[in-house]
Structure 1
Amino acid sequence: MILSRALRPQLGRRGDAAPRLSVGFLLLKRFTLSAFANFIDVLRLAADEGDRSRPIRCQWRVISADLSAVYSSCGIAIRPHELIGNLNRFDYIVVVGGLIDDQMQWIDEQLDGNLRQAAALGIPLVGLCTGSFILHRAGLMDGYRCCVSWFHDSDFLRRFDGLKPVSNQIFVVDRDRLTCSGGASTAHLAAFLVERHLGKAPAAKSLRIMMFDEAAAAESPQPAICLDVPVRDQIVKKALLLMQQHLDVPLSIEQIAAHMQINKRRIERRFRLALKMSPLEAYTQIRLEHARHLLAETGKPVAAIAAESGYCDSSHLGRLFQRRYGVTPREFRSGRQALMK
């Protein structure tokens, strides 16, 4: 793979006294604070000895068009360091997304123009959380693989018809576009960049201080399993993730095996060893847990919940739901509502 200027380890490009890794952050309206904080803390801890936080080996700046405070989705405000200015001073431009509806309704032509300028200058672009949606909106992801959280997979497909997101791993590096599913996985993407530019030891040190056992590879599956037991088998994790991404139109086990390019019998054996159940039993459990969540947290009709959970009608859902939980969907919802009064 040919690396762009920033994906190559830096050897004093700005002079020996300059940081070897410089990152500019663009925070979108109602961005996700954890995605931003995890990423920037890896840079902070790698930049100096111990945790003294001096920007010696790494430098990070929050940039914007007008220096107005940007509010995160939890209400915490971040005030930018400086105006956008000359983007060539950065090795990467990182776009931190957040609440998807706000972001897609809030069109900022100046922001999109800045991103296109960075791309024209050959500066790699990083999309954290729903930041990848903004990169797509700006027309900067055509022909690139793009990592999207399993939680936003359907939103992505609905808004970007014809594009295929990658939602079964924590981040994707495709030439000069780096995208990440958000949350804790942003720390692992930041560690990937630190290792590229500063070496493995600073990256490992940052993660250890942040209480991560070790760096996770890009291909690590997103932790989105609706089961009450811990799962360590990577094949089982990826199969479960595929199941969770296809609830309304369930895949057959043969289709899951084909997607993963492994033998169906191998999947079945791994499920028996890891979960003491078949893939089909696990799939049923995930779909019923999803239905139970919708019954508890939404006012959707039972028929609509049945359809979203991959059942042909409410009667089919009702039989399986009662067999597992001892009550019908309507009885479950009524009981929840009585407790809330």
Structure 2
Amino acid sequence: MAPRPNIIRIGMLVYPGCLRSGAVMPFDVFHIANTLSGLRVAANRVHFDTCWLSARKEKTLTVGGLSFHPQPADLEALDALMLPGIDHQGPYDLSPLLLGLGPEQEMLRRYAQTGKPIISSCSSTCLVAEAGLLDGRRATTSWWLAAYFRKRFPAVTLDAEQLVVEDGNHVSSGGVTSYLDLALWLVGRFGGDALRQSTAKVLAMDANRSSQAPYIAAAMIQDEGHAVIERARRWLNQRLDRTWNMAELAAHCHTSPRTLLRRFQDAAGMSPTQYAQQLRVERAKALLESTKLSLEDITGRCGYEDVSTFSKVFKRWARITPREYRARFGLRQ
């Protein structure tokens, strides 16, 4: 008699205002993994048993017209608990939404006592942090939430460029579709890397994505309402192809160079020079995406004299070279 496959129980915590795709699509990843695992020798098979859970008493939870019928929450029986992201319009819409998710925070605290993985994607890392479970730990979230997250959760070490961050029994991921990367992470954790890779191939996914850096648009992640930073950004954007000095920028912002440095560090986590580099890389990204200009022309329009220096700066911020970026995101022939 063939041995039974190893059963892995994955719970998805659904709640009011959660992202529907994040609550549903990971289950398709596990379904594909189950199919592929069934082709392996019996001793190596795993089976992912998935279910929706709720921290609330209602038997049916409707989110954006989609109805979920959660099972009773047997937390001890789970091997991992996943969270879909929170649907929101902008970073500061999240604060009142988090305050309304008290039952979910309490369930997370109870599940954390089991020592089993809590898997958060996108903005749901804010929910785990709000529950106090990420203090002193590393985490990531959607890159456009970086400034908000650092301000609201200063005790958490945020690595917003990373796509997936694992710290103890907490695993977090970046933008909305990274829940697929988290599902693949779980497939690899419990079924092995070969099953993870084969599942990714069926999904036509890159199983080795590790960074959000190529997707980051700097202007979207700055702390809202910081007048000095916004004033500096507008001035710098008009001079990306020119040289400038700190005294000129400070004078435009009606402050001293020392105060300007401090405010940039507090609000943006970098110096004005680093910020200007990031803006130049943003311009280069736009030109690489939307034009067929040569790399030499783009280098000049971004304020650099030679392609080699510019390419090093670009790769430092985007984690890929300009040519690789154009190949991935540029105009198609």
TM-score by length of 1: 0.58
- For residue 277 of structure 1, what is the aligned residue in structure 2? 298
Contact 1:97–1:103 (Cα < 8 Å) also in 2: no
Contact 1:88–1:121 (Cα < 8 Å) also in 2: yes
Match 2:49 to one of 24, 43, 59:
59
Distance in 2, Cα, partners of 1:160 & 1:76:
32
The superposition leaves residues 123-182 of structure 1 with CA deviations (integer Å, 9 ceiling, x where unpaired) of: 221112211111111111111111111122233234324544221121211111001124
Contact 1:27–1:97 (Cα < 8 Å) also in 2: no
Match 1:191 to one of 172, 180, 184:
184
The superposition leaves residues 239-298 of structure 1 with CA deviations (integer Å, 9 ceiling, x where unpaired) of: xx6x76457457558647999xxxxxxxxxxx9996853498299xxxxxxxxxxxxxxx
Say if 2:117 is the partner of 1:124: yes
Distance in 2, Cα, partners of 1:275 & 1:80:
57
**Corresponding letter in the other structure for 1:92:** A
Match 1:224 to one of 179, 195, 215:
215
Match 2:33 to one of 37, 46, 51:
46
Residues 209 and 225 (structure 1), Cα distance of their counterparts in 2 relative to 1, 3 Å cut: same
Q: Secondary structure at the match of 2:302?
A: helix
Q: Secondary structure at the match of 2:176?
A: coil
Residues 280 and 140 (structure 1), Cα distance of their counterparts in 2 relative to 1, 3 Å cut: farther
Structure 2 gap ranges (5+): 40-44, 89-93, 223-228, 231-263, 279-287, 305-333
The superposition leaves residues 97-125 of structure 1 with CA deviations (integer Å, 9 ceiling, x where unpaired) of: 312436324132x3222211111111221
- For residue 232 of structure 1, what is the aligned residue in structure 2? none
Distance in 2, Cα, partners of 1:145 & 1:275:
39
Contact 1:125–1:177 (Cα < 8 Å) also in 2: yes
Alignment map for 1:87-102 (pairs within 5 Å): 87-100=75-88, 101=94
Distance in 1, Cα, partners of 2:21 & 2:302:
34
Residues 275 and 223 (structure 1), Cα distance of their counterparts in 2 relative to 1, 3 Å cut: farther
Contact 1:42–1:203 (Cα < 8 Å) also in 2: no
Q: Secondary structure at the match of 2:215?
A: coil
**Corresponding letter in the other structure for 1:59:** D
- For residue 101 of structure 2, what is the aligned residue in structure 1? 107
Residues 97 and 51 (structure 1), Cα distance of their counterparts in 2 relative to 1, 3 Å cut: farther
Alignment root-mean-square deviation, CA: 3.7
Distance in 1, Cα, partners of 2:138 & 2:277:
20
Deviation at 1:18, TM superposition (A): 5.5
Deviation at 1:184, TM superposition (A): 2.1
Deviation at 1:87, TM superposition (A): 1.0
Contact 2:37–2:46 (Cα < 8 Å) also in 1: no
Q: Secondary structure at the match of 1:59?
A: strand
Say if 2:80 is the partner of 1:79: no
Identical aligned residues as a percent: 21
- For residue 30 of structure 1, what is the aligned residue in structure 2? 17
Aligned length: 235
Residues 281 and 68 (structure 1), Cα distance of their counterparts in 2 relative to 1, 3 Å cut: farther
Say if 2:201 is the partner of 1:208: yes
Contact 1:66–1:83 (Cα < 8 Å) also in 2: no
Residues 280 and 99 (structure 1), Cα distance of their counterparts in 2 relative to 1, 3 Å cut: farther
Q: Secondary structure at the match of 2:137?
A: coil
Residues 204 and 155 (structure 1), Cα distance of their counterparts in 2 relative to 1, 3 Å cut: same
Alignment map for 1:112-191 (pairs within 5 Å): 112-191=105-184
The superposition leaves residues 5-59 of structure 1 with CA deviations (integer Å, 9 ceiling, x where unpaired) of: xxxxxxxxxxx6364422111113111122233322211110124999xx96111
The superposition leaves residues 180-211 of structure 1 with CA deviations (integer Å, 9 ceiling, x where unpaired) of: 12422211121122112112332223222323
Residues 187 and 222 (structure 1), Cα distance of their counterparts in 2 relative to 1, 3 Å cut: farther
Residues 280 and 196 (structure 1), Cα distance of their counterparts in 2 relative to 1, 3 Å cut: farther
Contact 1:92–1:124 (Cα < 8 Å) also in 2: yes
Distance in 1, Cα, partners of 2:20 & 2:301:
37
Residues 257 and 119 (structure 1), Cα distance of their counterparts in 2 relative to 1, 3 Å cut: farther
Deviation at 1:92, TM superposition (A): 0.7
**Corresponding letter in the other structure for 2:136:** G
Distance in 1, Cα, partners of 2:295 & 2:86:
34
Residues 258 and 63 (structure 1), Cα distance of their counterparts in 2 relative to 1, 3 Å cut: same
